[in-house]
Chain A
Amino acid sequence: MSRRFINRGDKPTKTGFGEGLLASGIRHPEVIALGADITASVGVNLFAERFPNQFVSLGIAEQNCVGVAAGLALEGKIPVFSTYGVFAALRTTDQIRVSVCYNNLHVVIGGAHAGLSVGPDGATHQALEDLAIMRVLPNMTVLSPCDATQTKIATQQAIHHTEGPVYIRFGRAAMPDFTSENQSFEVGKAQLLHAGDDVTIIATGHLVWEALQAAYTLKEEQIHARVINLHTIKPIDKEIIVKAARETGAVITAEEHQVTGGLGSAVAEVLACEYPVPMKFVGMPDRFGESGDPKELMKKYQLTDLAIVQAVQTLLTTKSYP
């Protein structure tokens, strides 16, 4: 549990999605991928080339894509629709709400290029609100895996082992790939990645790696941080969150997303009712991003291990010890 995770080499999580989708199509003719023009850029091209009869190009018409996905799902297909998260989740919210969620259909929606780390494209293309909007919809499952390896596994789980609508979020920038290919991954069950009893860092997506680095730094200061990878935002793993709050007495959340409505809010909703403890939120402070190199942006908006370390230090001054 206290072993250090090693980066096997940077890899974009979208690659994990593409590989997971490809693997899901093998011997599963019911898996149908829908393309909204940017198939190569979101990792769907591998699948499209391998299974041309299971790929449908629908052009730059995301609202229609979601409706078509609903229609396919009604007939027993497993449609997978992927485009940039800003379009996949926000352009189509009403279609997802009514045609997919109200009908409770097994449609898998891939939100690509999520978060600030999409970089130079700027604010229009940086999905920082998708988790909030997707998790508020009844029947929806929301996944936010932490690296390429986990995204591949999560994609297969989303397609073949989850019921109802699923939103899975992933990024474009190459980021550390560190989780095991043989990891146990279960939708709705968060992963304890690092043991510690002084404070808990609950992170999701790219920020999980940063949280681990923060924990390693804090250890040198004799602060033992517990790190939890909340790869499923919904349904949320209440048990692990409440246990962590009870045992560590302070919780930090870290996400590449607005602090309003995302992971931090989801965790706070649980703790407010079950076991309130001092909290701090690392995330976007209710504002739009901008163009820049992914690493520069993460630094500017304090979505780094250093920002997490500082948040922990501040939080621990307010923590009341029982």
Chain B
Amino acid sequence: MIQPKVNDPLLLQEISAEIRRSVITTLSQAGSGHLGASLGLADLFTCLYFSVLAHDPADPLWPGRDRLILSIGHAAPVLYTTLARVGYFPEQELATLRKLGSRLQGHPGREHGLPGLELSAGSLGQGLSVSVGRALAAKMDDQSWRVFCILGDGELQEGSVWEAAMAAAHLKLDNLIAIVDRNGVQIDGKTEDVMALEPLKEKWRAFGWEVVECDGNNHQDILTSIHLVQQVPHKPGVILAYTKMGKGVGSIEGDYRWHGKAPSKQEASRFLRELDKEVS
């Protein structure tokens, strides 16, 4: 059955909070992995899988589904926890993340057979090109499904992203929506210190994309932006989603040192308490 769309803002809040809890617990069990981006992206993933994408967890390869490509493979935990929450596989399996024999690889690997994975990825700068190929295939076959591609902001320093951006506009792929996790940080620090990206909106515009900015931790804003960015025919759309790395856990919000770390058991229980406080 095609996943019914959730419109109730309170329910979306609740799901995002569950995903965040699940991300913290899962990463703490795994003992390694990237916490920051996964917490920051929980609201986007909630909106996408519970309210935007046409998809069917019981039939992961349904040809008419919208495709979601996670270009930043290191945000795998938020993808896995969302896929489990929406019903692609049992939530207990999240405990196997990064363990030997698991379908939940540190960075997504399709050969391990996890349902709902659209691409094995992890080397930055490749997902948008693959998304262009898939969106192009949909156009060639007159299909109406869409391709969503999740990019990191640090990832935009890879030149290949801009090759793909040029191609998407050239090919007039209005069935392609890129979403940039604009959390402003990367492993070495602030993006603007490591390698400045601004003026980012203008860059995408100059490359021929329709650009919408939004608060990437606000469900309503996310949903409105996804709607708005698809309004221009013959142009691909990009959403610059301003998120907070570590969102939901006040003590680590915006702290780039939490990009590539997993919480210890003690940290995890402290973070879960902070999360509960935020939600209530």
The residues of A with any CB-CB pair to B shorter than 8 Å are: 32, 53, 56, 58-59, 61, 63-77, 79, 94-95, 97-99, 102-104
Contact = CB atoms under 8 A, between A and B. Distances in A.
Contacts of A53: 140
Contact of A74 (B133, B163, B171): B133
Interface of B is mostly: helix
Given A56-B171, A61-B163, A102-B109, A67 B128 contact: yes
A65 B133 CA distance: 9
A68 B133 contact: yes
B136 interface: yes
Nearest to A68: B133
A68 B120 contact: no
B119 A66 contact: no
A98 B164 contact: no
B171 A76 contact: no
Which of A64, A73, A74, A104 has the most B CB atoms < 10 Å from its CB?
A64
A76 B111 CA distance: 17
B160 A76 contact: no
Given A72-B134, A77-B137, A99 B109 contact: no
Contact of B129 (A76, A77, A95): A95
Nearest to A32: B140
Interface residues of B, number: 33
Which of B129, B136, B160, B171 has the most A CB atoms < 10 Å from its CB?
B129
Interface of A is mostly: helix
Contacts, number: 101
B130 A71 contact: yes
Given A76-B137, A98-B120, 19 more contacts: A61-B167, A63-B159, A63-B160, A67-B126, A67-B129, A67-B132, A68-B129, A68-B133, A68-B164, A71-B135, A71-B137, A72-B136, A75-B133, A75-B137, A77-B137, A77-B140, A79-B133, A99-B119, A99-B126
A97 B166 CA distance: 23
Contact of B160 (A59, A67, A75): A67
Interface string B105-132: 0000111000000111111011111111
B129 to A, nearest CB: 2
Interface string B164-207: 10110011000000000000000000000000000000000000
A63 B120 contact: no
Contact of B137 (A58, A66, A72, A97): A72
B123 A71 contact: no
B54 interface: no
A99 B129 contact: yes
B86 interface: no
A64 B129 contact: yes
Nearest to B123: A98
Contact of A104 (B111, B167, B171): B111
Contacts of B171: 56
Nearest to A29: B140
A102 B120 contact: yes
A27 B194 CA distance: 51
A236 B163 CA distance: 35
A67 B126 CA distance: 6
Contact of B121 (A56, A98, A104): A98
A69 B134 CA distance: 9
B120 to A, nearest CB: 5
Contacts of B127: 67
A65 B136 CA distance: 12
